[in-house]
Amino acid sequence: MRAIVRDIYGDADVLHLADMPKPTIKPQEVLVRVHAAGVDRGAWHAMTGLPLIARLGFGLRRPRNRIPGLDLAGVVEAVGAEVTDFKPGDEVFGEGSSSWAEYARAKPHRLLHKPPHLTFPQAAVIPTSGATALHMLLLPTALGSSSPSSTAAGPRSPSSTTHGPDSPSPTTHGPDSPSPTTHGPDSPSSTAHGSGSPSSTGPGSPSSTVHGLGSASRVPQPPGSTPPSANDHDSSSSEAEEPGVGPWAVGGTASAGSGREVLVIGAGGGVGSFAVLLAKANGDVVTAVCSTGKVEAVRGFGAARVIDYTREPLTGSYDLIVDIAGNRSLSQLRGLLKPRGVLSIAGGEQGGRFFGGLERNLKALSVSPFLKQTLRAPIVIAKRDDLAALTSIRSPLQRTYPLEEASNAMHSLATGQIAGKVALTL
């Protein structure tokens, strides 16, 4: 089968097309004919082997797993003997293993049937970035798989997709990734992607396809949940009686229409675009931070206010800060939080070469128990409940590249050219 491979760590030039054996599945796995695959920062970490500590998982001298990719969308080719949720011919999306290829393995609990209104590329970019945004925003996955209290500091519910502070690897992405800082294609659970996307430019196409946003809609309400009211923000819960605390806060009940003041730093990227879209759909008032070239796109995602960090300082006072980029100090970020506000740290690329900023996450987790503010740095693993919650918002897909142009796709991500998400198509 056709696949993107790399045999050494390096920049996007190490990626090349190769003929690889079709994967074989275990009894509890699904084989997906990949039509589109997501491109994200985790793949960049696995490609470069940075930060260096990530190589403990990816392979010390060279990548252990030759085919990158985690997110995918495609058609079920075959199922293992123990799989009952899917059958050959089903259109699915989710996280798999080595997805930048014609075929990829996936575990059923990390897949969802693809809704018809989403194209394969739109579906393929959802899992990693979308689920991360969902959990950083303390929104329960369409309900109940992870309550705000379980995502922040409490024990993981069996179906929760977020790792709490007691996780040994606060910034690792992907459940199977052995690396503490990256969500990468080298993860044994990483994925590859397929072909036939309606929006694919097709193999060999010299140019990629630019996508507009789809129609907006709200995040689905969890089964059995009480519809939020305009007064949810003034709930009579004990937390809500204190300044800066809403019913959505850690330990409370997340709800739509809460009117939270949310700051999203890094709003022009993969996680950030989903965060703005989700927060807007949830009824939050979003202030988004990005560079000059992404201001209009980020406004289009639904931000009420956009701060161009290259031209003005970050100001305001927020119930929730989703910190995705910039590696700003905890003291600066806490200064932008209300007295009982919540800081959710996703990551950031400006950390050191060895730890990549992991120290800041660890510090946040260690000081949080002593503060009124809550500092959290969850590791998010996309599961089926997350995927379901993410199918009803607009797609932030901005651009697709044919599989063989994976190095161009990665280059565009690494150089900050993309406002939103990028997908590979087959």
Ligand X SMILES: NC(=O)c1ccc[n+]([C@@H]2O[C@H](COP(=O)([O-])OP(=O)(O)OC[C@H]3O[C@@H](n4cnc5c(N)ncnc54)[C@H](OP(=O)(O)O)[C@@H]3O)[C@@H](O)[C@H]2O)c1
Which positions lie near ligand X, rule CB under 6 A?
40-41, 128-129, 132, 171, 173, 183, 265-266, 268-272, 289-291, 294, 309, 324-326, 346-349, 379-380, 413, 416
User: Which is closer to ligand X, CB of 240 or CB of 422?
Assistant: 422
Smallest distance, ligand X to C-beta of residue 18, A: 25
Smallest distance, ligand X to C-beta of residue 65, A: 18
Q: Based on CB atoms, which residue is closest to ligand X, 128 or 195? A: 128
Closest distance of CB 33 from ligand X, Å: 26
- Between 75 and 343, whose beta carbon lies closer to ligand X? 343
Nearest-CB residue to ligand X? 269
Q: Compute the least distance from the CB of residue 76 to ligand X, in Å.
A: 26
Closer of 29 and 323 to ligand X (Cβ): 323
Give me the least distance between CB of 222 and ligand X, in Å please: 22
What's the per-residue H, E or C state across the chain? Answer: CEEEECCCCCCHHHCEEEECCCCCCCCCCEEEEEEEEEECHHHHHHHHCCCHHHHHHHCCCCCCCCCCCCEEEEEEEEECCCCCCCCCCCEEEEEEEECCECEEEEEEEEEEECCCCCCHHHHHCCHHHHHHHHHHCCCCCCCCCCCHHHHHCCCCCCCCCEECCCCCCCCCCCCCCCCCCCCCCCCCCCECCCCCCCCCCCCCCCCCEECCCCCCCCCCCCCCCCCCCCCHHHCCCCHHHCCCCCCCCCCCCCCCCCCCEEEEECCCCHHHHHHHHHHHHHCCEEEEEECHHHHHHHHHHCCCEEEECCCCCCCCCEEEEEECCCCCCHHHHHHCEEEEEEEEECCCCCCCCCCCCHHHHHHHHHHHHHCCCEEECCEECCCHHHHHHCCCCCCCEEEEEEHHHHHHHHHHHHCCCCCCEEEEEC
Question: Nearest approach, Cβ of 159 to ligand X (angstroms)?
Answer: 17
Choice between 107 and 294, CB closer to ligand X: 294
Q: Which is nearer to ligand X, 196 or 326 (CB)?
A: 326
